[in-house]
Chain A
Amino acid sequence: MIKIRDLEKIYRTEEVETVALNKISIDVKEGEFVAIMGPSGCGKSTLLNILGLLDDPDNGSFLFNNIEVANFNERKRADLRKHNIGFVFQSFNLIDELTVFENVELPLIYTGVKSGDRKKRVEEVLDKMQIMHRRNHYPQQLSGGQQQRVAVARAVVNNPKLILADEPTGNLDSSNGNEVMTLLTDLNEQGTTIIMVTHSEHDARYSHRIIRMLDGQTVLENIMV
């Protein structure tokens, strides 16, 4: 599903040049659950942003479902992203002004799903995430665990092929964290590919494979049994 080769990303300021990704090459198959680990500043978030088509690489190749997307413009990237990729963030990133229902509905609005269908799909996913009873609440009225469940619901509402999770349990206690990890595992078992950046060895153990990074390069891959 994902095939990147010799991918480079360099951040330049007037005086400093920081290599975030140094000719990195990774493959991710459809249905895989991959964890990316490494110390702060090793480039894992940059990698995730490029995989999520939020950022573009300076050099190298990025094939998404066998299509070269490294040189896609913003519009094409946004289009590909909204139909194929769901995101889960450490800090949930829900819109404070929108209710739970409206937050989950948002990706469907951007993909142009009709109002009736939207309602049905949002209710289905909220039900699945066991957060239906909170549908009219605002994010500030929810616990961290509930907020992350909403974020996961929002990530999956469009039935994406790929979910990118950036430290999804980073802001949660262990019990809520485990709940979110179980949700992700369930999704993966239903066929969704998941790539997760994490600092937690415990969370990483939920994955099939751990890619360890250092200074913008992959240094080790562990296959989980």
Chain B
Amino acid sequence: MFKNYLKTAWRSIVRNKAFSLINITGLSIGMAASLLVFIVVQYELSYDKFQPNYNRIYRVVTQDKFDKDITYNAGIPVPALKALRAEFPHIQFGALESAYGSQITVPSGKNETGNKFIVETGLFFIEPQLFEVFSYQWLTGSPASLKDPNNVVLDEKTATKYFGSWQEAMGKTVLLDNTVPLKVNGILKNVPANSDLPLSVLVSYETLKQNGGAYNHFETWNTTSSNFNIMALLPANVKMDDINRALLQFSRDQYKPLQSNSIKTNFLQPLSSFHFDRRFASFGDHVTSKSTLLTLSLIGIFIILMACVNFINLATALSVNRSKEVGIRKVLGGNRSQLFGQVMTETAVIVCLSILVSLGIAWMMLPYIKHIASIQEQLSLFTLQTVVMVVSIGIIVTLLAGLYPSFVLSKYNPITALKNKMASAGVRGVSLRRGLVIMQFTISQVLIIATAVAISQMNFISKAELGFNKEGVLILNGKSDSISLSKQTAFKQQLLQIPGVQSVSFNNDAPSSDNLWSTNFGYNHQPDEKFQISLKFTDADYVKTFGLQLIGGRIPVESDTMRELMINETLVKDLGIKDPNEVIGKTIRIGRDQWYPIVGVVKDFKTSSLREDIKPVVITTRKKFYYCTGIKIRTQQLAGTQAAIQKTWEQFYPEYAYSPQFFDENIARFYQQEEQLSLLYKIFAGLAIFISCLGLYGLVSFMAVQKTKEVGIRKVLGASVTSLLQLFSKEFTVLIIVSFFIAVPVAWYMMHSWLNNFAYRIPLSIWFFITAIAGSVVIAWITVGYKAIRAALANPVKALRSE
């Protein structure tokens, strides 16, 4: 029996080539899209789940509550480590501190200054106790390898990169930031890529203690750096809430004596939220919001639903043509369940074929996934989870797509079926088909609107007035050790000799960045203000190099120490002052330092991504913090200029790796997730439109056959081609308009929420919605048009005769 089902199913697929193609194309694209979405979502959700104590690991984080706002910090003051261990002896704590942009120099026979490597994913100073919280596999060595100062543990990949093989690396000495010698004392098996703790170079924490100053590691309750993290492993029977309550009291006791202008509280952040909580900086390469994953999953489900809708629509429409076969089978003794089984088998065959095609599509698309998701790792399609997913999709889609057509076909009355009079009986299905078409076009229009809004917002961002010049600025990260600093003036002079270099500025940070150096402050000999300011340490050429605009006063004079200050417009406003010139000559005290005069005010510039408001900024001089060199270059002869800059760098700083970054590329990285989401919307909107059109084309083809007689009679009676075209397009146009009215509130809500992520956003104009409806109608007309014209132009005599 089953063999017979399969045989008929296959022949029916071959016989109805066009419809089978539409179904298989739609389903396979839908399933491939869903499969890829599943792989991405599953990957994002898998972060750090390989940790055996995943559900018991936490980070002790800090909340700073000011009058106006609350800030969050993944870090905690360094002395908290000792205090926490004393207060909570039953909890296992382990500390780590990250250092970005650090350099490891590996001795080399060929290169006098050694091979220099910038540790891109971040270098970590790690306590051996951290390995009691997190579990990693050791190729050689043990947590005790990090007990003593000047020891380093590498992961297998890094050891191979530095020394050719990890076995070679053991016992060798490398140089950290040209000052600290480190002996390779252990090798860790590579940490999986789906971790927010990308350990590759692990330096003993004791080394940090001995070189604290160089890494801004201060044993003081006054400083909270997001680089210093304390991780905790709670005992199995201890609840997070209980510890958080105890931490409230702990915070009161520890921070009260500081008399800060904010209320600091420590609490536990579960490991399961490391990858999704944007309030905290991540050591990993990206944080993903769960709402993005949800949106992605929903879109994946919608796309597959749309393909199922096509299947149901076409299958029920086609069932009219199959009524004779059903009739015969019933006459010959086939009962309802046998017919039901047959149609379900046919659906399953189409679904299986689609699965094969979709696996092919997904396999081809997998290498491109890194463009739409922040996944650098090469993912595999054939994992246990994907196989389970594919089988589940197969079963669900077979049921979704097959149940209704099976039900419709199997209940046909054999006599009416044999007479091919099911057209009239099929009328009942028309309202369902309309409903399904409305659903498809609602999804398409929501996605069209989302795409249009996302593209416009991203355009707005890329063209937004940032208040500084991001083009043609090269940023070189260096070190601020005394030797390096002593060479700065000569280095600058030499750079300015290069014809393509316009200006050079030493500073601690670009105008717009993810870094944040914020502090409390007082204005004009008053007690501390209730908000914090952001600090930037720069030389006098900063304004010129980054194209900032002075709107009052002058630039602070060049100085090795802090002497004069320049502030931004936002700080003027936040101080409640209207005229920027009014602040010139007034004073500011930073932290517990002395009072310094304000000498200039700069026009507001975007201090971080456009998601956030502009922060109040104080710009001042302090040579000690000039780690960065900003070089404004002419865009002509770029390659030559860059080569000359590199040569100059290597001449002055042979012991440091040359790792230039273009400022505009750094800015673009702020919006990587938004760009990816925008691209995803584009892809999915395209897919949704394509699948809807496939379905529409199928339905209209069917309608053309069904309406042959009607069109024939109308033509005989004198109907024009235009009026016949209207006959076909009218219904679909009405359905699209209905779906538009459903799509508008959904899309408005969705995109309104998305735009709320941005402090600087476009208005949700009516034109987005008009574009969606106009686009849908035009696309639908084009889809319907070809078939409709053919039907309208057909010879009426032939049409009537065939009836």
Contacts and interface: CB of A to CB of B under 8 A. Distances in A.
Contacts of B11: 97-98
B455 to A, nearest CB: 48
Contact of A110 (B15, B338, B418): B338
Interface stretch (A48-56, A64-72, A171-179, A203-211): A48-56
Contact of A81 (B327, B333, B415, B418): B333
A55 B415 contact: yes
Interface string B1-31: 1001001100110010000000000000000
Nearest to B418: A93
Contacts of A89: 418
Interface stretch (A29-37, A101-109, A119-127): A101-109
B634 interface: no
Name the residue in A52, A75, A93 with the highest tally of chain B Cβ atoms < 10 Å from its Cβ. A93
B331 interface: yes
B682 interface: no
A102 B4 contact: yes
Given A55-B415, A95-B328, A78 B333 contact: yes
Contacts of B4: 102, 106, 109
B331 A109 contact: no
In the A-B complex, the 3 residue pairs with the closest CB atoms: A82-B333, A97-B11, A110-B333
A121 to B, nearest CB: 15
Contacts of B15: 96-97
A178 B437 CA distance: 52
Contacts of B336: 74
Contacts of A74: 335-336
A62 interface: no
B745 interface: no
B165 to A, nearest CB: 64
Contacts of A75: 335
A44 interface: no
A58 B465 CA distance: 83
A96 B418 CA distance: 14
A165 B112 CA distance: 103
Contacts, number: 61
Nearest to A151: B328
A81 B12 contact: no
Contacts of B415: 49, 54-55
A110 B332 CA distance: 7
Given A95-B8, A97-B12, A110-B329, 20 more contacts: A54-B331, A54-B414, A74-B335, A78-B335, A81-B331, A82-B333, A87-B332, A94-B328, A95-B328, A95-B329, A97-B7, A97-B11, A97-B15, A102-B4, A106-B329, A107-B333, A109-B4, A110-B332, A110-B333, A110-B335
B275 interface: no
B334 interface: yes
Nearest to B5: A109
Name the residue in A96, A97, A98, A102 with the highest tally of chain B Cβ atoms < 10 Å from its Cβ. A97
Contact of A87 (B1, B331, B334): B331
Interface string A77-88: 011011100010
A97 B418 contact: no
B632 interface: no
A78 B328 contact: no
A102 B10 CA distance: 14
A107 B4 CA distance: 12
A111 to B, nearest CB: 6
Interface residues on B, range: 20 to 34
A49 B325 CA distance: 17
Contacts of B330: 54, 78
A111 B330 CA distance: 12
B363 to A, nearest CB: 32
Contacts of B12: 97
A97 B329 CA distance: 12
Contacts of A110: 329, 332-335, 338
Contacts of A52: 331
A79 B4 CA distance: 20
Name the residue in A83, A87, A96, A110 with the highest tally of chain B Cβ atoms < 10 Å from its Cβ. A110
A54 B419 CA distance: 13
20 contacts: A54-B330, A54-B331, A78-B330, A82-B333, A83-B333, A87-B332, A93-B327, A94-B328, A95-B325, A96-B15, A97-B15, A98-B7, A98-B8, A102-B7, A106-B4, A106-B329, A106-B332, A107-B333, A109-B4, A110-B329
Interface in B413-445: 414-415, 418
A97 B334 CA distance: 16
B622 interface: no
B324 interface: yes
A154 interface: yes
B333 A111 contact: yes
Interface string A176-215: 0000000000000000000000000000000000000000
A87 B327 CA distance: 12
A126 B15 CA distance: 26
A218 B338 CA distance: 38
Interface string A18-55: 00000000000000000000000000000001001011
Contacts of B334: 78, 110
A154 B332 contact: yes
Name the residue in A55, A93, A95, A111 with the highest tally of chain B Cβ atoms < 10 Å from its Cβ. A95
Name the residue in B4, B328, B333, B334 with the highest tally of chain A Cβ atoms < 10 Å from its Cβ. B333
Contacts of A78: 330, 333-335
Contacts of B7: 97-98, 102
Nearest to B326: A95
A62 to B, nearest CB: 16
Nearest to B335: A78
Contacts of A82: 332-333
A138 to B, nearest CB: 9
A107 B332 contact: yes
B329 to A, nearest CB: 7
Given A75-B335, A109-B1, A110-B334, A93 B8 contact: no
Interface in B323-365: 324-325, 327-336, 338
Interface in B654-690: none
A94 B335 CA distance: 18
A96 B15 CA distance: 9
A98 B3 CA distance: 12
Contacts of A54: 330-331, 414-415
Interface string B719-755: 0000000000000000000000000000000000000
Contacts of A49: 415
Name the residue in A98, A102, A109 with the highest tally of chain B Cβ atoms < 10 Å from its Cβ. A109
A95 B417 CA distance: 13
Contacts of B328: 93-95
B19 to A, nearest CB: 14
